[in-house]
Amino acid sequence: MSSSDTTRLPGQPVPASQPADFEPVKEGKSLLRRIRAGALATLDASDGSPFASLVNIATDFDGAPLLLLSKLAAHRGNIEKDARISLLLSEGGKGDPLAHSRLTVKGSAVLVTDDADKARCKARFLARHPKSALYADFPDFAFFRVVVSGGHLNGGFARAALLSAEELLCDVGGAGALLAAEAGAVEHMNKDHADAVRLYATRLLGGRDGPWRITGIDPEGLDLAFADDTLRLAFDAKVLDATALRLTLVHLAEKARG
């Protein structure tokens, strides 16, 4: 679809004018999960003008972006006055920057206040950004969760699409058992099955060889990191509990070794 088409409904097929290999929902979800930092656009608290800054980004269990913001930062004050934001997540790469995929996410940044939610957000954020542990507990820092309202994907020339919040995020209904098991599963895989994790990244996703680790698991896939590299391994089918996760991870390991 063209970037000017605002009438497409969630799940409606992409028009024939799009390249046959363009899968906007799949690509948008992957960018949302993989990109570690992006441009945060807020509204200046003093005059309402656009204000752009650079922030680190992680994702919650359902894919909603997570931000760790200081009260000393201008964008924090902007958000406290007007919560509307957008995030630009760019893949980057060699050559023309505009030839590479990027995703703009729109929504509102909401302060995380519930203790259980804060613990989950902190764990997921630090898994993606370990160095943030140096200041994450400072009293002026707090976690914000982006309530996504929609997005716009540009995958390069003639590859653009509007995406709804439902298309970008993962429906986590019925996945409470997996959420409860996630932290233990991540620790177990990274500690006891590092060889399989490495194969996921190198054999299944074409990543460079190295000590890859899982940083998060959700019903639709798992996130991998090695140094500054990140990858997203999507599952063939939704996973809702620990038993299904174990079977899926074993199958993926066999596939990688095969």
The hierarchical CATH code for the domain 24-168 is: 2.30.110.10
Alpha helices in the chain (DSSP H): 24-34, 74-81, 115-128, 165-168, 176-192, 194-199, 242-257
CB 40 within 8 A of CB 67: yes
Task: Name the fold adopted by 176-257.
Answer: Split barrel-like (3.20.180)
* Mean pLDDT of the residues in the chain: 93
Query: Could you tell me the pLDDT band of residue 6, with boundaries at 50, 70 and 90?
Result: very low
Structure tokens at 165: 């919040």
Distance, in Å, from the CA atom of 29 to the CA atom of 150, rounded to the nearest integer, reads 12
CB 201 within 8 A of CB 44: no
Query: Could you tell me the pLDDT band of residue 19, with boundaries at 50, 70 and 90?
Result: confident
Query: Could you tell me the pLDDT band of residue 22, with boundaries at 50, 70 and 90?
Result: confident
Q: What are the pLDDT digits (tens) for 32-61?
A: 999 999 999 999 999 999 999 999 999 999
Q: What are the pLDDT digits (tens) for 115-164?
A: 999 999 999 999 999 999 999 999 999 999 999 999 999 988 888 999 99
Residue 15: pLDDT above 60? no
Dihedrals phi, psi of 51, to nearest 5 degrees: -135, 120
CATH 2.30.110.10 location in the chain: 24-168
Q: Which residues contact 153 (CB under 8 A, 6 or more apart)?
A: 24, 27, 28, 31, 101, 102, 103, 104, 159, 160, 161, 162, 163
Which DSSP category does 85 fall into? E
- Within a 10 A sphere around the Cβ of 123, how many other Cβ atoms? 16
Q: What is the pLDDT of residue 96?
A: 85
pTM summary value = 0.90
CATH 3.20.180.10 location in the chain: 176-257
Query: Could you tell me the pLDDT band of residue 92, with boundaries at 50, 70 and 90?
Result: confident
Question: Long-range contacts: 233-242, Cβ < 8 Å, 24+?
Answer: 233/200, 233/201, 233/204, 233/205, 234/26, 234/29, 234/30, 238/175, 239/175, 239/178, 240/174, 240/175, 240/177, 240/178, 241/175, 241/177, 241/178, 241/181, 242/177, 242/178, 242/181, 242/185
User: Which residues share a beta bridge with 43?
Assistant: 50
CB 235 within 8 A of CB 220: yes
